Amino acid sequence: MAERKVGWEPQGQHTIIGKEVQRTDGKQKASGQAKYSNDANPPGTLFAKLLTCPHAHAKLVSLDVEKAKAVKGVKAVQIMAEPGQEIRHEGWPIVAVAAERREYAEDGIRAIIAKFEVLPHFVDEADLKGAEAAEITDGGMPAKLTKSLGTNKKGDVEAALKEARHVHKGYYGVHTITHMCLEPHGSHATWDGDKLNVELSTQNVSGTAGQYVKPLGVDAANVSIHCDFIGGGFGSKFAVDEWDVACAKLAKTTGRPVRLMLDRPTEMQIAGNRPSAFADVTVACDANGKITAWDSHHWGTNGPKGSTVALSVTPYVFDPPNRNRTATGIITHCGPDRAWRAPNHPQACAYTDTALDDLAAKAGIDSLSFFQKNLDLTNLPHIYAPELEIAAKLMDWKAKWHPRGQGAGEGPIKRGVGLALHTWGGGPHQSNVQLKVHPDGTVEISMGSQDIGTGTRTCIAMVAAETFGIPLTSVKVNIGSNKYPQAGPSGGSTTIGGVTGPTRRTSQQALWKIFDLVAVKYNVDLTTLAAKGGKIWSGDKDVCTWKQAASLVGPMALELTGGPVTEEEGLTSKQVGGVQMAEVAVDTETGIVKMVKMVAVQDIGLVVNRLLARSQVYGALIMGIAYSLSEERIMDNKTGKFINANSTDYKLPRIGDIGDLVVEFYEPESEYKRGVIGLGEPPVIAPGAAISNAVANAIGVRVPVLPLTPKRVLESLKKG
Amino acid sequence: MDRDQATRQGPGFNRRDFLKGSGAAVAATAVTTAVVEQQAAAQQQAAKLVSAAPQAITLNVNGQDHKLTVEPRVTLMAALRDDLNLTGCKDVCDRANCGACTVLIDGKPVYSCTRFAIEVAGQKVVTAESLHTAEKTDLVVEKFCEHDGMQCGFCTPGFVMAVRGFCNAHPKATLDDCRKGLGGNICRCGTYAGVLQAAFDTAQAAN
């Protein structure tokens, strides 16, 4: 420790970091003792439910809540929509009812008389022509349902298409999916005088208190946000929602704690979704398989705002010399979108890497060779090239790949392999830390952060334990409250870099202060000191125990605070690449696609916790399998309703549906040295294209739209 | 099938109607037996009728008796969560599909949203909370931690109970048995890989 420099140890020299370490809160979660907002139930709690609009587009004509107020057990009614108001999607909150029991709240909802004038709607997200032709009025005025989201050009696509050896034209699409957080959106609110205490299911503990100020007239400093555990967010839980405000109002009216969590259908209808995207693509290459031109028009919906996937990520990762791109948003009477794990990327990947794979097939080139030939058109060729080699070995690509539809068959079951690649930023968010070294040797770290499933507590504790050379059990981590130092929201794969960076730096600074005290007390050379195995060492001689060293801080804890990390410190970085390969078995008689195997090779810089990092990738692959094969929001054009807004008909894979998953981190020293980079988003991007490409490889035809349901597979086979 | 609205029981098609009418041979004897059957059915129905008023029941949960007064419509899930504050059984779908509210009733895994609280009075209910106490941590909980069969953790206690019930009934289950036997629970974070290993290890450790 001659040089006092903030940073990580050289690769291979950490004791805890990079190892497989179990979650520090695992037993609490597994035994149901972890308390979520949906579990908050202090004495006196009232249960609130919502009446929502059953129509896609309507005007609320009249509302009578008097009978509801008289229902047994009902304590208060909060009106959330006024007569005359135009309603633009199903599930729109109308009234919240708080009652002594959930059953009474439901009785109260049933007693409300709400009359609607049903207005014409448009919900067919794939139908661009229909949207252009639709005659809909909004607020009494004729409304156009399509919006140009821009167009831009690079090079000369027309000339490139003329010169190209192979030109492929195709149509691709991805339907809307919802977040389907198992813990619905909502909160539990309690007033203590003019102080508001909220148990909020949020990815944004430090950033939500202020959102109560305007609607409630409460002082921001008087709002406490608390969230020890959150049951899924995936990008949909950054804000205080109108039903959270209604919950706080009901708590104020009744003088009682109130809990309002969305029911499952409402959760799916209004609490966020991932926009759809459909694309007409023309792509071309020369005789060597080098991509020379891309031309696309994509469209889709994110609900009332009328947007779809960003133009900037089209085509995805590959940037050919000649490129035209256009996007059109469709306004629909569907629920509004929210950020969904890696916003824009999964859809863009799904219509880019499929089109490229079709071009490769047309050119008669193995998909792997085709992608390899074109890596110079990507942002990270030096990452993708070795990752493709690793993935190909793990998948046994050479043995399994065959020209489309020409695999050795076992009756109607056809096997195939496909690949895709992705990139993501994943730089750290802005987080502050308070660190205390207590005289008894325990270390306490407080951050206004949250654990959305990544293992925030565990990773913070590991970094402190590593730095001080103490067991994980000697580190206490406080997160989940806005009363701790501010930390960024958990979104965009920013958390682990964002919290471990400041923790490492501040831990090192605290340790150096303790070294100063040790050097004086034990008369040892300061420059030789190191902390390991619960002891302070001078070279290979142990000077004192960690506890003895910590006791030197005096009667009160040594307390340090630290601000967000900067990239220059070398603790964190951004921009990763990953490749994935999928193997499927398709039953050409039933159209059922079965996952056989998926391989993910992912660069994430320095791995903090190998067990939890692998979990992130497994989870991303499984979410990817879900939107590739079974999961979609199904809108009924006639009624405008989201007809599978329930857990039964909204198909998610089960434990037997995922095949074998193989996860490999790409971590040569060059990447390790970049420090910690977020991992949540990247591996969820490529599965759509990789799986679709595997199905095309298996059956010889492209099933253009995700998810690849049996119906769509059979339709594509029939079409040939 | 009895299509007469006057004599047909309940608001719609029911299982009993179906059974009565599903065999062609039944028609021949229907005339003589119809009256007797109807009387028996009416008696059966009357015996099943319960008042909508709250009832005092005793629920045996995790070896402890709890006295509760609940309306007959209150589900076991609602009683455990709202009345006993045992929130390890999670409220996710409330329609017998996702498995997050799984508990053991007399040793068998059951979705607690599919039972009324008054139905299980007299039976032994076990919830996830009992698998990790100051005295003892169940192997299933240990294995879920070892293989990281969790992320956000919201489906986890339900999955833990499903695995506990499955492994009790199928000691030495293979990986494939686990894939088939644990399809009753949904996880959104995608923790199936860890759950599968946890279940397999637990089953293999059974005596």
Q: What pLDDT, in 10s, does the model give residues A577-608?
A: 999 999 999 999 999 999 999 999 999 999 99
Residue A586 near residue A593 (C-beta atoms within 8 A): yes
Q: Does the distance separating the beta carbons of A622 and B179 come in below 8 Å?
A: no
Domain co-membership, B100 together with B160: yes
pLDDT band of residue A382 (cuts 50, 70, 90) is very high
- Which residue segment(s) compose the domain that B11 sits in? 1-49
A233 contacts: CB under 8 Å, gap ≥ 6: A179, A181, A201, A202, A203, A452, A490, A491, B152
pLDDT at A367: 98
- Measured between CB atoms, which of A26, A264, A454 is closest to B144? A26
**What phi-psi label fits residue A523: left (phi over 0), alpha (psi between -120 and 50 degrees) or beta?**
left
Residue B9 has pLDDT above 70, yes or no: no
Question: Which of B192, B200, B202 to mutate to test binding with chain A, by most A CBs within 10 Å of its CB?
Answer: B192
Q: What is the pLDDT of residues A625-638, one digit of tens each?
A: 999 999 999 999 99
Domain co-membership, A532 together with A654: no
A192 contacts: CB under 8 Å, gap ≥ 6: none
Counted domains in chain B: 2
> Distance between CA A347 and CA B80 in Å, rounded?
42
Domain co-membership, A192 together with A307: no
Is the residue at A521 inside a domain?
A: yes
Is the residue at A20 inside a domain?
A: no
Name the residue in chain A with its Cα closest to that of B193. A618
Residue A645 near residue A265 (C-beta atoms within 8 A): yes
Residue B1 has pLDDT above 80, yes or no: no
Domain co-membership, A351 together with A465: no
Q: Does the distance separating the beta carbons of B98 and A182 come in below 8 Å?
A: yes
Q: What is the pLDDT of residues A249-301, one digit of tens each?
A: 999 999 999 999 999 999 999 999 999 999 999 999 999 999 999 999 999 99
Domain co-membership, B61 together with B10: no
> Distance between CA A327 and CA B155 in Å, rounded?
38
Residue A466's CATH number:
3.30.365.10
> What residues form DSSP beta bridges with A600?
A580, A663
Domain co-membership, B99 together with B191: yes
> Distance between CA A431 and CA A678 in Å, rounded?
14
A577 residue type, one letter: G
Query: How many residues belong to chain B?
Result: 207
Q: What is the pLDDT of residues A293-339, one digit of tens each?
A: 999 999 999 999 999 999 999 999 999 999 999 999 999 999 999 99
pLDDT at A2: 52
Contacts of B89 in chain A (CB under 8 A): 32
Domain co-membership, B28 together with B125: no
Tally Cβ neighbours within 10 Å of residue A610.
Answer: 15
pLDDT at A143: 85
Domain co-membership, A385 together with A327: yes
Picking from A537, A569, A601, the residue at the C-terminal end of a domain is A569
Average pLDDT of the segment spanning A509-538: 97
Domain co-membership, A188 together with A305: no
Q: Does the distance separating the beta carbons of B190 and A620 come in below 8 Å?
A: yes
pLDDT at A176: 98
Residue B8 near residue B38 (C-beta atoms within 8 A): no
pLDDT at A1: 47
A347-363 b/e (C-beta count within 10 Å ≥ 16 → b): bbbbbbbbbbbbbbbbb
Residue B102's CATH number:
3.10.20.30
Q: Does the distance separating the beta carbons of A612 and B188 come in below 8 Å?
A: no
- Which residue segment(s) compose the domain that A220 sits in? 37-119+180-270
Name the residue in chain A with its Cα closest to that of B175. A656
> Distance between CA A631 and CA A623 in Å, rounded?
9
Domain co-membership, A298 together with A399: yes
Domain co-membership, B104 together with B187: yes
Counted domains in chain A: 3
Name the residue in chain B with its Cα closest to that of A45. B82
pLDDT at B48: 73
Residue A556 has pLDDT above 90, yes or no: yes
Query: How many CA within 13 A on the CB side of residue A392?
Result: 16
Residue B12 has pLDDT above 60, yes or no: no
Domain co-membership, B107 together with B191: yes
Residue A277 phi/psi, 5-degree rounding, is -150, 130
Contacts of A268 in chain B (CB under 8 A): none
Q: Residue for token digits 């009895």?
A: B2
pLDDT band of residue B29 (cuts 50, 70, 90) is very low
Domain co-membership, B20 together with B83: no
* Cα end-to-end span (Å), chain A: 68
pLDDT at B22: 38
Domain co-membership, B183 together with B146: yes
Domain co-membership, B101 together with B186: yes
> What residues form DSSP beta bridges with A705?
A173
Residue A156 has pLDDT above 80, yes or no: yes
Least confident stretch, A3-7, A44-48, A198-202, B200-204: A3-7
Contacts of A177 in chain B (CB under 8 A): none
pLDDT at A608: 98
Query: How far from chain centre, in Å, is Cα B134?
Result: 27
Residue A217 has pLDDT above 80, yes or no: yes
Domain co-membership, B9 together with B98: no
Contacts of B160 in chain A (CB under 8 A): 30-32
Domain co-membership, A439 together with A313: no
Residue A453 phi/psi, 5-degree rounding, is 120, -10
Q: Strand A291-301's sheet: what is its strand order?
A: A146-154, A322-330, A291-301, A277-285, A166-174, A705-706
Is the residue at A170 inside a domain?
A: no
Contacts of A33 in chain B (CB under 8 A): 88, 129, 132
SS3 A139: coil
Question: Which of A20, A21, A25, A29 to mutate to test binding with chain B, by most B CBs within 10 Å of its CB?
Answer: A29
Name the residue in chain A with its Cα closest to that of B184. A654
Chain A: give the shortest CA distance to residue B33, in Å: 40
pLDDT band of residue B45 (cuts 50, 70, 90) is confident
pLDDT at A71: 98
pLDDT at A389: 98
Residue A486 phi/psi, 5-degree rounding, is -60, 135
If you write DSSP's letter for every residue of chain B in order, what string do you get? ----TTT--SSS--HHHHHHHS-TTHHHHHHHHHHHHHHHHHHHHHHH---SS-EEEEEEETTEEEEEEE-TT-BHHHIIIIIS--TTS--S-SSSSS-TTEEEETTEEEEGGGSBGGGGTTSEEE-GGGGB-SS-B-HHHHHHHHTT--SS-SSHHHHHHHHHHHHHHSTT--HHHHHHHTTT---SS--HHHHHHHHHHHHHT--
- Measured between CB atoms, which of A103, A181, A653 is closest to B73? A103
Domain co-membership, B62 together with B148: yes
Chain B: give the shortest CA distance to residue A720, in Å: 34
Is the residue at A303 inside a domain?
A: yes
Q: What is the DSSP letter of A681?
A: S
Tally Cβ neighbours within 10 Å of residue B164.
Answer: 23
Q: CA of A404: how far to CAs of A283, A352, A584, in Å? A: 19, 18, 13
Q: What is the pLDDT of residues B62-72, one digit of tens each?
A: 999 999 999 99
Residue B10 has pLDDT above 50, yes or no: no
Domain co-membership, A281 together with A421: yes
Contacts of B100 in chain A (CB under 8 A): 182
Domain co-membership, A577 together with A660: yes
pLDDT at A26: 98
pLDDT band of residue A79 (cuts 50, 70, 90) is very high
Residue A211 near residue A489 (C-beta atoms within 8 A): no
Is the residue at A700 inside a domain?
A: yes
pLDDT at B14: 37
Query: How many residues belong to chain A?
Result: 720
ipTM > 0.90?
yes
Q: Does the distance separating the beta carbons of A38 and B91 come in below 8 Å?
A: yes
What is the percent of chain A with per-residue pLDDT over 90, rounded to a whole number? 97
Is the residue at A3 inside a domain?
A: no
A262 residue type, one letter: L
Arithmetic mean of pLDDT over chain B: 86
Chain B: give the shortest CA distance to residue A24, in Å: 9
Residue A216 has pLDDT above 90, yes or no: yes
Q: Does the distance separating the beta carbons of A32 and B90 come in below 8 Å?
A: yes
Residue A153 phi/psi, 5-degree rounding, is -130, 150
Residue A293 near residue A320 (C-beta atoms within 8 A): yes
Tally Cβ neighbours within 10 Å of residue A490.
Answer: 30
pLDDT band of residue A407 (cuts 50, 70, 90) is confident
Contacts of B137 in chain A (CB under 8 A): 27, 31
pLDDT at B33: 65
SS3 A364: coil
pLDDT at B8: 36
Domain co-membership, A280 together with A316: yes
Contacts of A658 in chain B (CB under 8 A): 192-193
Domain co-membership, B70 together with B106: yes
pTM equals: 0.94
> Distance between CA A501 and CA A433 in Å, rounded?
10
Picking from A245, A270, A295, the residue at the C-terminal end of a domain is A270
Residue B2 has pLDDT above 50, yes or no: no
Is the residue at A11 inside a domain?
A: no
Average pLDDT of the segment spanning A544-551: 98
Residue A525 has pLDDT above 60, yes or no: yes
pLDDT at A615: 98
Domain co-membership, A407 together with A420: yes
Domain co-membership, A412 together with A292: yes
Tally Cβ neighbours within 10 Å of residue A412.
Answer: 10
- Measured between CB atoms, which of A31, A38, A39 is closest to B141? A31
Is the residue at A536 inside a domain?
A: yes
Picking from A515, A544, A569, the residue at the C-terminal end of a domain is A569
Least confident stretch, A2-6, A664-668, B155-159: A2-6
